[in-house]
Structure 1
Amino acid sequence: MSIEQYIKTDILQKRLADTSVLVVYDGEHRYQQLAQDMASEQCEVVDVSQGSLLTRQQAVSALSKLKSGKQLLVYVPKAAPMEEEEKQKDPFALYAAAGCVFPDPERSGDNFLDICLKAKPDQATEIRQLFEQNDNPSFEVINAIGGGVNWPTLQAALHTEGAANLLFKFMTANKEVQSKLAGQKSWHNEALSLFNSTLGLTLRTKQSSWSAIADELWRFVLFSEFVFDLNEAIPASLSDVMVAKSSAKPIIEELGDNLRKHTDYQSLYVERASAVEAELKLSALCVNITKLGNRDTFPFEEKCYLKQAIDALIADERDLTRKIVSEHANSVWSANSDSQVNWELVKSSQRLLETCEDLSRELPNFTKKQSDLIEFYQSSLRRADQLHREFEQAVNDCPVADDLMPGVVNLVRKNYRKLVESVQLRFTHFVNDSGWPPAGFLSNTQVFDSKVEPLLKSSGNRVAYLMVDALRYELGFELNKQLVEDADSHLFAAFATLPSITPVGMASLLPGAYEHLSVSLEDGKTKALYKGKPVGDVAQRMGVFKSQYGDRFHEMTLKDFVKMPKSKSIATSVDLLVIRSTEIDSFFENHPEDAPSMMQRELKQIRQAVNKLQSQGFQKVFIVTDHGFYMNNAQEAGDNVKNPDTNWKVEHQRILLGAGNLDDLHYSLANDKLGIKSDISMFAGPRSLAPYRKGMLYYHGGLSLQECLVPVIEITLKSSVVKAGQTASVVLDYKKGAKRITTRFAVIELKLESLSADLFGEAEDLETTEILLEAHSGTGKNLQVVGEARPGEYVNAATGTVTLEPGDTIKVTLKMDPEFEGKFKVKAIDPVTNSILGDVLELETDYAV
């Protein structure tokens, strides 16, 4: 292969295939003709040397019109800008940012010498001698070197040519190729020549079988890459292990990169590298090495990089943490489930720490007025609660979090607690002075009368009223982001009624609650009363709706509505459908550690319910809630507040009702400042986020933005369901066709493909697609969800939806139900229609324990 062909096929074409946009900077004017030769129907080439203004306009036009499958190459006859200031002045730097660069000054092996060595590794000595005499030899001179060297038998058996390609094909030979080699003898001497001239490898094995030779070649290549990458000396005990000659470094690195990057061979690479690491005892012998370099050759290195990221996080070296994560968190070893959950915990930790620091700097600008603080929470502070929820989910998913990350979990929790406590103290100070609810904001007792009742004054308007227990504001925000994609959805904020407990909170959402609801103490228990009658349970509250709307009213649980057969419909006489859900609160009350992941199912069902309501002919949907909640994972020793007086009735460990003594650690509200009728003389509670009892991981009932600021989502549905036909399919794979999973965190590979083509046979342009990834067991009424996508880079932590970009292949961890074992099916599901997108992956558990 000529050097020109090598550059075109192995560099320019590969980079264009990866990024679609490539800028070729060429100060020596070496690559101009090669760049021009890349022009085709698929690839548009813009040669800047032909005139700056016109070509700049051409490049802008080409970039703006770039479609999936099309490519753009921009040739710039000058050296690539190195400094940030130079890049800002370079009009073509934005194309480099959108795609990639050649030669890339930051990429090892992109200078002309290294390219020549990769193209002709077997002539490395002659090439180096040539460059010592002439640092810019022509292509013709390079092509003239070693023209007579070849390995005909190997070339015929492996169906390729060129030393680098032959080595790659030999290392990855399949059964058919191995069988072909076993029936011949001449390839053996050719292999000896290839290995020696290209890598400096003299085989030690006396066997002539492919298996024995491949074992030694894999060990030699991988260990050589490891040694070349080290920034310190190898241990003395490894000094006798053979290493490639220094001139072979470019081809060694190219082999390692290709073996790891090529998805067809990643499983083989993992198997081989793990075996070499174990054989050479690298994990134990290299335990004291700290300067590893940048390559992910062996699995033990990934653990070292993880520890370095953790150490940098604790040392407050965020740039270093970010660099390590970007370079190593998505390595070939991330397909290992433990690796993924560990790296996700590091990334989640860094996101929360950085967000808390940013918000802490901004907070003083929003603490002078109560309205400013509340609006700041809605726009920004809620992000800390969201990321904290995701962080705690990552901690719970990481089986060795405390051992793996000493100090990190506590550090993150401490920083989060510091931020939310500073917000809490300002918030309770404002409420103590001005009363409840905050002036100028919607109260939950006003929601039904202001939002729903006007629509029901005349028949024909069909409204669904989803009463969701414990849907705090940040969750509502995330849910609304998903709903906006399906319908005309708007998010509002309201304030819960005190005490922020379910019986009172749900009663505050009834019709006429502002006028008729009151709170009382009877026999030491908090009672919600509607026109003086109890409304503390579901039947009593639904009775209020029934008495007011009669046959126009119907109610059911969210679970029952979603599972309702398509053949069944809500009677057309029903104008008000109340749908109830208590799952989120129930998850947290009974299983607080698992609740962040379990709530995804509830939000998924809400979204499906909205779609179903549209098909049932409803025009409006309101999603409301009784209260929020606070996750108290950041508690410390002694982190609770003492009840100042035993005369108080303690409700939900977060609020005091009645009368008694108070200290400076408490706020207090007389019953004329409660925003609700009550014969209770006073409501009081801790100014901080601490409860009255130790060890509570989850609570509500008191006064905080997390407990009391709640979402109201108003959705306008279309008059008829318009759903485009399925145009995309999701291809699923597990370990290149493996049928058994050996861990409860199985890494599934997903790719989005088009189902349709135009008149010319070209696939339609795909758009970013959102799916649910689930594992199902059983069928029909016995169908159970036994696994779901674990939150991560591509998975929304609140809703569990996976985002797929056209052409990308991504890896998502499927978190299996720890109680399930047996056969199951993995499905990509439309989160709105619940239809299956693509083929089903059939697997079976095979856990070691």
Structure 2
Amino acid sequence: MKGQIPASLASVPVANSVGGKDSCVRLVQTWRNRRDLRDSYVKLANQVEDEIGLGKLDLPVELLQRNETFFCVERALMVQVETGLFKAANPALLQLAQQRLSRFWADVKPEVQARWALISSAAEVLIEAERVGKAIKQAPATIPALLKAYTDDDEPWCLLDTHHRNMESRHYSFDFGGSGDHPELEKLITKAEQRYTEVGSELAKHFMTAYQKAKPPVKGVLQQREVFEKKVKPLLGDGKVAYVWVDALRFEMARELSRLLKDDFDLSLQPAVGTIPTITEIGMAALLPKANESAKVVAVGGGKVALDIGGTVIKDRKDRVAFLRENAGVTVFEAKREDLLPEANEEGEGRHPGCGVDPHYLPGN
């Protein structure tokens, strides 16, 4: 611990000389870094922590963030960071949380790493919500400009959705233990969720207002019902084409997928304006051939709607497959995600239930 020793630790014996202090620091650092010795370090550190009552002391955050000797210090620092982020979205606290992800106690205790990761995700949501919320107040009024701000700038607004998705995933998998074990963390997550909802609602409201004024179809942007005609059909004469349909795959998820695949594939990513109403039955059918020519939404009874393309009403997956086979202009091989994944062995390995991509149709010539 650098600097002046807190009064609460005045009775604890410490090295007085510079050489003695350096030797102590090198000893514990080497001890922690030795994989074959770290268990003994953890045991003795916890013992000393209990003996001097360190966990009961109120230590300043400036000292906590420079220290990783005792587990109680790590716990106290997490609470300090959670409390600080709840008060204000602070990039410095986000940086501190990210740094602690690779420190000793996060490496020794998976629950510590999971907690720092969740804290970091909540901080990212709050910071990004602050940025996007301010930007919306001066947002462009046209649909093409709004799409660019959301998808294509150096810091696209869709990053808010990415950070929120990451936070929700980590929140879902985090073990909170008994009720009330992590009150500061729970309050931080609740605030991040509220800010995400507030800013997301404002963005949606602004987009719909601009969309209504634009009198669809909006010029200068790709329409969802044009995807097959403009993006798929031109490739069919060059060889086999995989046309992968993924229901509810948000743009930011496609952006993340592209980032992961960019080293192995030549990629391009382009947003398209969805077909209203943006539900599975309409959106998936809008990706079919000829949807650009005569698609219209029709009622099919029971309070449901479907897409009519050239007189053919497409209500469900079975209808979509049949229409694609008849109108793709090439031989179509249809497959589901599970058809393409390797068979699981006796241990359950092979198929990945969390894979987010579901290839429905693979047309080829």
Q: TM-score range by the shorter chain?
A: 0.7 to 0.9
Whether 1:513 and 2:291 are equivalent positions in the alignment is yes
Secondary structure, in 3 states, of the residue corresponding to 1:438? coil
Contact 2:89/2:127, CA 8 A, preserved across alignment: no
Q: How does 1:522-541 map to 2 (within 5 A)?
A: 522-523=300-301, 524-541=303-320
Contact 2:101/2:113, CA 8 A, preserved across alignment: yes
Q: 1:342 aligns with which of 109, 115, 119?
A: 115
Q: Compared with structure 1, are the counterparts of its residues 327 and 382 closer, same or farther at alpha carbon in structure 2 (3 Å cutoff)?
A: closer
The aligned counterpart of 1:300 is 72
Q: Compared with structure 1, are the counterparts of its residues 408 and 352 closer, same or farther at alpha carbon in structure 2 (3 Å cutoff)?
A: same
The aligned counterpart of 1:233 is 7
Contact 1:503/1:536, CA 8 A, preserved across alignment: yes
The aligned counterpart of 2:164 is 388
Tell me the distance in 2 between the aligned counterparts of 1:332 and 1:345: 18
Tell me the distance in 1 between the aligned counterparts of 2:99 and 2:245: 45
Q: In the TM superposition, what is the alpha-carbon distance from 1:342 to its structure 2 partner? A: 1.0
Q: 1:471 aligns with which of 242, 249, 259?
A: 249
Tell me the distance in 2 between the aligned counterparts of 1:341 and 1:422: 31
Q: In the TM superposition, what is the alpha-carbon distance from 1:281 to its structure 2 partner? A: 6.2
Contact 2:141/2:210, CA 8 A, preserved across alignment: no
The aligned counterpart of 1:438 is 218
The aligned counterpart of 1:759 is none
The aligned counterpart of 2:356 is 602
Q: In the TM superposition, what is the alpha-carbon distance from 1:302 to its structure 2 partner? A: 0.5
Q: In the TM superposition, what is the alpha-carbon distance from 1:559 to its structure 2 partner? A: 1.9
Q: In the TM superposition, what is the alpha-carbon distance from 1:230 to its structure 2 partner? A: 7.0
Q: How does 1:266-277 map to 2 (within 5 A)?
A: 266-277=38-49
Structure (1 or 2) with the greater strand fraction = 1
Q: Compared with structure 1, are the counterparts of its residues 545 and 324 closer, same or farther at alpha carbon in structure 2 (3 Å cutoff)?
A: closer
1:393-439: CA deviation from partner (whole Å, max 9, x where unpaired): 12222222852425211222232223222222211111222233433
Residue identity opposite 1:445 in structure 2: R
The aligned counterpart of 2:53 is 282
Contact 2:223/2:275, CA 8 A, preserved across alignment: yes
Residue identity opposite 2:198 in structure 1: K
Tell me the distance in 2 between the aligned counterparts of 1:323 and 1:561: 41
Q: 2:201 aligns with which of 410, 421, 443?
A: 421
Residue identity opposite 2:118 in structure 1: L
Tell me the distance in 1 between the aligned counterparts of 2:249 and 2:139: 25
Tell me the distance in 2 between the aligned counterparts of 1:322 and 1:451: 40
1:264-318: CA deviation from partner (whole Å, max 9, x where unpaired): 433332232123334x16255x344446452211111100111111122123272
1:78-136: CA deviation from partner (whole Å, max 9, x where unpaired): xxxxxxxxxxxxxxxxxxxxxxxxxxxxxxxxxxxxxxxxxxxxxxxxxxxxxxxxxxx
The aligned counterpart of 1:332 is 104
Q: In the TM superposition, what is the alpha-carbon distance from 1:545 to its structure 2 partner? A: 2.1
Contact 1:270/1:332, CA 8 A, preserved across alignment: no
Residue identity opposite 2:219 in structure 1: A
Tell me the distance in 1 between the aligned counterparts of 2:309 and 2:143: 31
Superposition TM-score, scaled by structure 2 size: 0.83
Residue identity opposite 1:382 in structure 2: C
Tell me the distance in 1 between the aligned counterparts of 2:340 and 2:95: 48
The aligned counterpart of 2:349 is none
Q: 2:145 aligns with which of 355, 365, 372?
A: 372
Alignment: residue pair count = 344
Secondary structure, in 3 states, of the residue corresponding to 1:273? helix
Q: Compared with structure 1, are the counterparts of its residues 470 and 355 closer, same or farther at alpha carbon in structure 2 (3 Å cutoff)?
A: same
Q: Compared with structure 1, are the counterparts of its residues 358 and 442 closer, same or farther at alpha carbon in structure 2 (3 Å cutoff)?
A: same
Q: 1:360 aligns with which of 121, 130, 133?
A: 133
1:306-339: CA deviation from partner (whole Å, max 9, x where unpaired): 1111122123272552464366443211120111
1:127-158: CA deviation from partner (whole Å, max 9, x where unpaired): xxxxxxxxxxxxxxxxxxxxxxxxxxxxxxxx
Q: In the TM superposition, what is the alpha-carbon distance from 1:253 to its structure 2 partner? A: 1.9
Q: In the TM superposition, what is the alpha-carbon distance from 1:531 to its structure 2 partner? A: 3.0
Whether 1:548 and 2:327 are equivalent positions in the alignment is yes
Higher relative contact order (CA 8 A, sep 6+): 2
Q: Compared with structure 1, are the counterparts of its residues 230 and 322 closer, same or farther at alpha carbon in structure 2 (3 Å cutoff)?
A: farther
Gaps of 5+ in 1: 1-224, 566-597, 620-849
Tell me the distance in 2 between the aligned counterparts of 1:391 and 1:599: 20
The aligned counterpart of 2:27 is 255
Secondary structure, in 3 states, of the residue corresponding to 1:453? helix
Q: In the TM superposition, what is the alpha-carbon distance from 1:229 to its structure 2 partner? A: 7.0
Q: Compared with structure 1, are the counterparts of its residues 230 and 257 closer, same or farther at alpha carbon in structure 2 (3 Å cutoff)?
A: farther
Secondary structure, in 3 states, of the residue corresponding to 2:308? strand
Tell me the distance in 1 between the aligned counterparts of 2:95 and 2:239: 55
Sequence identity (%): 24
Contact 1:386/1:474, CA 8 A, preserved across alignment: yes
Tell me the distance in 2 between the aligned counterparts of 1:341 and 1:326: 11
Contact 1:519/1:528, CA 8 A, preserved across alignment: yes
Tell me the distance in 1 between the aligned counterparts of 2:85 and 2:113: 18
The aligned counterpart of 1:449 is 229
Contact 2:142/2:214, CA 8 A, preserved across alignment: no
Contact 1:510/1:545, CA 8 A, preserved across alignment: yes
Q: 2:185 aligns with which of 400, 405, 423?
A: 405
Tell me the distance in 1 between the aligned counterparts of 2:324 and 2:186: 54
Contact 1:274/1:298, CA 8 A, preserved across alignment: yes
Secondary structure, in 3 states, of the residue corresponding to 1:491? coil
Q: Which has the larger radius of gyration?
A: 1
Tell me the distance in 2 between the aligned counterparts of 1:282 and 1:368: 60
Q: How does 1:21-60 map to 2 (within 5 A)?
A: none
1:598-633: CA deviation from partner (whole Å, max 9, x where unpaired): 985224x77xx9xxx9xxxx79xxxxxxxxxxxxxx
Q: In the TM superposition, what is the alpha-carbon distance from 1:508 to its structure 2 partner? A: 0.9
Q: How does 1:692-771 map to 2 (within 5 A)?
A: none
Residue identity opposite 1:502 in structure 2: T
1:666-709: CA deviation from partner (whole Å, max 9, x where unpaired): xxxxxxxxxxxxxxxxxxxxxxxxxxxxxxxxxxxxxxxxxxxx
The aligned counterpart of 1:752 is none
Q: In the TM superposition, what is the alpha-carbon distance from 1:477 to its structure 2 partner? A: 0.8
Q: Compared with structure 1, are the counterparts of its residues 557 and 317 closer, same or farther at alpha carbon in structure 2 (3 Å cutoff)?
A: closer
Tell me the distance in 2 between the aligned counterparts of 1:370 and 1:480: 24
Residue identity opposite 1:260 in structure 2: R
Q: Compared with structure 1, are the counterparts of its residues 325 and 602 closer, same or farther at alpha carbon in structure 2 (3 Å cutoff)?
A: closer
Residue identity opposite 2:82 in structure 1: I
Tell me which moved more, 522-531 or 506-515.
Answer: 522-531
Tell me the distance in 2 between the aligned counterparts of 1:317 and 1:556: 46
Structure 1 outlier segments of 4+, above 6 Å? none
Tell me the distance in 2 between the aligned counterparts of 1:408 and 1:503: 37
Gaps of 5+ in 2: 345-351
1:152-204: CA deviation from partner (whole Å, max 9, x where unpaired): xxxxxxxxxxxxxxxxxxxxxxxxxxxxxxxxxxxxxxxxxxxxxxxxxxxxx
